[in-house]
Amino acid sequence: MLKNDMYAPLKIFKRNRKKYIFDPIRKKLILQTPEEVVRQKFVQYLIMEKGVPKDMIEVEVPMSYFVPKAKGRADIIVYTIENNSRVPILIIECKSKTTPLIDDVFDQVYDYEEVLYANTVAVTNGVELYVETWNEKSECYVLLQELPNYIDLVNTSNYKYITSVPFTYKRREFKDFYKKEDLDFYNGHFLGITDEKLYSFIINLNELFWDDTVKIPYKELYGVRYIEDIGVRYTKFGNVAGYDWTGEYRSIIVEDKKGSHQIVSFAILGGYLIVAIDNDKYSHNSLQLFIKDFVKVNGHSVEVAHNGRLILGKSGMVKFAEVLDFIERKEPNLLNDDRKIELGLLDNSRQFDWNEEDVKEFIGRLVKYALIRDEFRDYKRKSLIKRKSRSKKR
């Protein structure tokens, strides 16, 4: 647990009914935001606890200062002096207290490190702090037990490494799915679900997703090529309501019929089966399937179907018939006789396995449906733009 909560920002001022913090590094008033509070407290932590000279700290530093046209701003950089020049030795990325330190946060600070070559990086939200340093022999970042003192950062000495054993996920056994220990662990995944017959299905599916010791074996399903299984990542995806769904996602790189590559991710969070997509346009939940409404259990048989419900940004809910008609044109095999999107009929009498035909069919349909939903969103957006353009001409 990080102790920088003991440091309050040095001075707070008011202007136009808003609160500002006096930043002693930049020597200016900065609008008080949750992230700025964490940043300022961490600066005091560096000075008071780690012995970093104030003139060796820089805040909100554009990467373009170091490499022309480089993007992004480092929250905090700590320097040393070499050959009469300031040289970066530590980069820190700060987030607000409520922001989880997901993989994207680490990727951000790694990007800055590729520009600055500081060798040591840290991420914090004011509660948690992770510090890593580059190891030349293993050619990877190594986690440190704590942030080194300034003199040790300068001399790259006395680092306390965390000797980690590679994590290997071990699946819970199917026979234990109804044990109190497993049910308690998964309690947050059952939100809004009162039918206990759905619990084992949720656990079974999540255990399949989380076990990345087994790679997804598919080459092509429903015209979608499976390029690479990139395992489990702790990340977040948003929806149109502005809510972020943070958790452990199983992710794969796929290639659609047009030859475009994108990452498709699966998770069960808060009673929802999430299928998220990130590509060069967006990163969001393509499908948010409420398990209580769209998963039916009959003995050991589990049917997953959807009605086509889709919200298009600020335009709101789209007519179900429009979505279903679009799917019928693109992939009619997804529709059943009741004009519902049939996603899978799974045998929940045993542990799910990627090689079982029912699981394979389910994943193939799930991925294809998520991609078509995004294709439909693009189609509708373009239609709306054309309609607006025609209206203006009139």
The sign of the dihedral angle between the CA atoms of 320, 326, 329, 333 is negative
pLDDT by residue (tens digit) across 263-315?
A: 999 999 999 999 999 977 778 999 999 999 999 999 999 999 999 999 887 77
Q: For residue 316, name the pLDDT band (cuts at 50, 70, 90).
A: confident
Least confident among 77-91, 99-113, 115-129, 307-321:
307-321
Q: For residue 42, give both structure tokens.
A: 């961490």
Rounded to whole angstroms, the Cα distance separating 302 from 53 reads 62
Q: For residue 381, name the pLDDT band (cuts at 50, 70, 90).
A: confident
Pairing state between β 85-94 and 120-124: parallel
Number of neighbouring beta carbons within 10 Å of residue 360: 17
Is pLDDT at 390 greater than 90 in this prediction?
Answer: no
Is pLDDT at 250 greater than 70 in this prediction?
Answer: yes
> What ranges in the chain are assigned the alpha helix state H?
34-50, 103-116, 150-155, 180-185, 199-210, 291-294, 320-330, 357-393
Specify the pLDDT at position 26: 92
Mean of pLDDT values over 350-354: 96
pLDDT by residue (tens digit) across 42-60?
A: 999 999 999 999 999 999 9
pLDDT by residue (tens digit) across 5-16?
A: 677 666 789 988
Rounded to whole angstroms, the Cα distance separating 31 from 203 reads 45
Helices (H) and strands (E) in the chain, counts: 8, 20
Q: For residue 391, name the pLDDT band (cuts at 50, 70, 90).
A: low
Specify the pLDDT at position 387: 63
pLDDT by residue (tens digit) across 137-195?
A: 778 888 999 999 999 999 988 888 887 666 788 999 999 998 999 899 998 889 889 88
Specify the pLDDT at position 198: 94
Number of neighbouring beta carbons within 10 Å of residue 68: 7
Name the percent of the chain lying above pLDDT 70: 93
Which domains are present in the chain?
4-155 (3.90.1570.30), 174-382 (no CATH)
| pTM metric for this prediction | 0.78
Specify the pLDDT at position 254: 97
Specify the pLDDT at position 150: 97
Specify the pLDDT at position 243: 78
Burial class (CB in 10 A: 0-12, 13-18, 19+), 220: exposed
Closest by CA to 123, choosing from 141, 149, 150, 140, is: 141
Name the percent of the chain lying above pLDDT 90: 69
Specify the pLDDT at position 104: 87
Closest by CA to 371, choosing from 184, 194, 226, is: 226
Specify the pLDDT at position 49: 93
Is pLDDT at 389 greater than 90 in this prediction?
Answer: no
Q: For residue 349, give both structure tokens.
A: 């009498």
Rounded to whole angstroms, the Cα distance separating 245 from 143 reads 27
Average predicted confidence (pLDDT) for the chain: 90
Mean pLDDT highest for which of 4-8, 230-234, 238-242? 230-234
Our CA dihedral for 328, 329, 334, 335, rounded to 10 degrees, sits at 10
The identity of residue 27, as a single letter, is K
Which residues, listed in sequence order, are joined to residue 311 by a DSSP beta bridge?
317
